[in-house]
Structure 1
């Protein structure tokens, strides 16, 4: 199955899916690396589009928001709870993706 052309992909929902879906898969399966696979695949797919639609600096910034959000969700979860933390970082990544890469 061929991939959709990178410039035709909307990355905000992919970024949110990677963070939220990775969390749900890891939590419900009990296999954390399985959630990491979803997180990684979504990150690669979004990154492909970020690079096609923007430039290397913006791609790096969006990648940092995505991966940084994953990292930040862990200590944040200790303060506000797991779901609010994951929803918060997924929202930040999705909004950043929309504003910097998806708007036409």
Structure 2
């Protein structure tokens, strides 16, 4: 067991910094993919950003979580991308992307660790 800055003990196999980094990377992949597509007018470039960061997250989740949660988180990432499109028709493009990105990051923090 290691000690966290608050003094609480964290399991030895959990790296809180890696969990936060992967959650941020997942949100960044969704936001960055949208921004790249929107501001360069190149949907393929946005797809490359989205896929590259998504694959990096999937690899990280596979290393830090059991296979089931890692697969679920990868599904959440893909569903967030797909779900942002109909949501954007209701709330706007940027609010939609930010909402699904926050949800994906929260899911990553909740599920993306070894138990």
1:35 aligns with 2:46: yes
CA RMSD, Structure 1 to Structure 2 (Å): 1.8
1:84 aligns with 2:95: yes
Structure 2: distance between partners of 1:82 and 1:49: 28
Task: Tell me the CA shift for residue 60 of structure 1.
Answer: 1.1
Q: Answer 1 or 2: higher relative contact order, Cα 8 Å, separation at least 6.
A: 1
Aligned residue in 1 for 2:75: 64
Structure 2: distance between partners of 1:91 and 1:85: 10
Aligned residue in 2 for 1:95: 106
Instruction: Structure 2 unaligned segments of length 5 or more: list them.
Output: 1-14
Q: TM-score when scaled to structure 2?
A: 0.79
Instruction: Structure 1 unaligned segments of length 5 or more: list them.
Output: 1-6
Structure 1: distance between partners of 2:88 and 2:105: 19
1:36-94 Cα deviation digits (max 9, x unpaired): 10100101111111001111110111011100000000010001100110000000001
Q: Which runs of 4+ in 1 moved over 6 A?
A: none
1:26 aligns with 2:23: no
Aligned residue pairs total 98
